[in-house]
Structure 1
Amino acid sequence: MSEHLFRRPLFLDRWLTHWIFIAIILVCGIYSAWDKYETSIAIDFYQMWGIGNAMKASDHSLPTPYFAKSQYGKILDAISEATPDERLQVANKTNHQIYDFGLEPTASPLLFALFALFPRGYSQSYGIFLACDLSLFAFSIVLLFKRFSSLSTFLVLLFGIILFEPFRSDLNLGNLNLFQFSAVSIGLYYSEKVRSHDASFASRGIFLALIAFGTLIKPNLALIAIAFAAPLLLPIRREEIIRLLATLVTSVFLLLAIPCIYFKSFTVWSHWLQYLTTAGKLNFGLFSGNLSTTAVIAFVSGQPSDSLKIVILVLSAIFGTVAMFCSTPRSLRCLLGCSDSSIAIAMIVTLAISPLVWWHYYLILLVPIIWLVNVGPMFSVPSALGVLSLLLASNIISLFDRNLYLYNVYIVPSCWIPLLVGVLLACRAQLDVHNPSSRQHEMLRSNS
């Protein structure tokens, strides 16, 4: 009887383990962020913070930043010279070593308008930025463990925080990729709810508005935004589609208007697009930090103009080969219908064909990797391919020999290939689990 009284229910043990895992991840994340706050100058954050602060210092008399870099740069130089903040002084000098006038305003106008809300103190603003980053990350981790409460999830996240170079790089530079990882993780949790028949029109409209906001803040995830938005618009009545489209268009219009008002220019968006399409803005070479597949192919082949075509052919060949031998029409429909797999494919295609991919961009791959290691048995082929992708995208080779660091430029851009194969195989495996007789029916049909 005494043993029965003191025996805890199994669900309490799972609940306790669940929160211990979350606590360890968050403590490690806080430690990493604090370490970067103590040591990093956050040169990317300087770019985003600097435009708004230069505008404030000029009493909003500056034109748009895309064709007035010198004016913004001079004001930021004066601000850094007048401040006792050593972090700002070093960030200003470092950016001058990299860019003309110390600025490279490739961010969207909405992002610059948003970062204008930060205070004028650079270190204070950077601290607030990291606190917001960690808060959203903490919320996403709680939701991730609600979806995938497993040892595999814990190990992937722990590796991500301690040894995953994209995570360390993003914190070091003060960029937005950890925000994007968190936003996609949160989006996947709530997309299942807003796609249900019981979801209200208001919840779907808010979800679409947030998708528009995230896309206009940093449009590099536009394909992922489409993968999120499309299922909300397809299987519903015509009247509701019209209402949701009206909500989406209104949200986009308001978000486009905010930077126009802030910069007092209705052409700020066209200025941004014109600046981005200027020759050389996205054409960084392989050994200048650009870890894109197109950069590798351009370097190896010596044909930069054909590199994107080659990547698309490789992507199509892998997709077609795996689809032919390992998938069925039903599993391909499952691939596009499941939120996790469709978002994973959108990420893979985005990273595979993008002409410019900095190392921290690969942080977003933690989302499909966590799904792959949970979608089947721990030692299944898809989970192994997910782990392989994690290792390829990290700096793991340098742990064995620092002299091998340069080989990362060839290794990292290939990380999406095992992930693509793993996602396709996982969809086939999921189909077989939900309908064990599906393969038998297909074999009988083909024999007949």
Structure 2
Amino acid sequence: MDSIIIGGGKPLNGDIPISGAKNSALKLMAAALLTDEKITLTNMPRLRDTRFLADLLGDLGMAVDEEGDNVTHLHAPHITSTVAPYDRVRKMRASFNVLGPLLARAGKAEVSLPGGCAIGARPVDLHLQAISRFGAAIELSAGYVHAFAPDGLRGGHVNFPFVSVGATEHAMMTAALAKGESVLENAAREPEIVDLADFLNSFGAKIEGAGTSTIRIEGVERLSGGTYSVVPDRIETGTFAIAATAAGGKVRLTGVREEHLHALWPLLEAAGAEIGLNGDSVTISRDPSSRPHSVDMATQPYPGFPTDLQAQFMALMTIADGASVIRENIFENRFMHAPELNRMGANIRVDGNEAVVRGVESLVGAPVMATDLRASVSLVIAGLVAEGQTQVNRVYHLDRGFERLEEKLGRVGAEVRRAPGE
């Protein structure tokens, strides 16, 4: 397997362009199953996860064609299969979200359960409970969900017992073609929810309230085709902003939606960075001759601090002056990066869903192992500020969610390269 080699101690200076959002692009690709017309997505990231999903969509009858760096054409004039097998779904959980569109379009679906996850169980119970509210019959057998709606789906009322981004998105897609009105209460409010609603509405859906806790959907008979631009990736934006704060220097992030990260900017300012918000760009500056300040942080559903930036923020706090407390309120078992950071000289003590990080003057480069997507990039950030060389192994996790990471860091002065595996 490939690894990333990082030479630490270099400040970052220059511009980094931000790609389209992985977490949004995957759901838009699945939602393209809802129409028999051609969909063109621009600002599409080129990632392992998007290609995993493209393979599955191809099995279901969709032609997926990449054009240039960031354009993808999707066209499913006919659903040729309603089965999403285990070998496909196990590679990437978002594949499970083809269930609702298949039901809405073909009246049936057989989709493998996605199984466990390194950062917690992340069950799909809420997805199935929501879909059943739209009149689908659901059976579980031999690790598969068998869903049927031979007479079509009907509008329903869903009150989520707790906020779930994936279940909210899945319910929105399923209800788009259901007969009558659907209401989703205690819905997730993330920008990716709004992006999915805007995508569906641009092709004829009738969705109101996305971005609030109550979403109303008036089902339509069919959706049309057309072109849509994927929202910029707020997690990539936050990751590079944290990296710039950790390494010091001055970095401008371009093609962003700075309003999607209001929970991050004050924390980086408290850590000692100067943040310049300029609409579609953000500038992060910090004097590399001094250490960041310690800052406490707790993850929360949007608009709170994103769980997908928790590992990166912890890497920043490892070199901060003082002690910080980081509380993970979204996923269990999401501190697996802590032992790897400790291998580099960090001082992190984990107790349940809380981690106490006592900043050290410097980290020391070491071989480390990536355990999941966000944990892997936290090790890259640690490598940027460590003395000597850091080797991050199992970087296929990085390739799932970060487009051209080495190139983007290299263009602002980082010493980073990929080492091919054996």
TM-score (norm 1): 0.25
Give 1 or 2 for the bigger CA radius of gyration: 1
Quick check: which one's strand share is greater? 2
TM-score (norm 2): 0.26
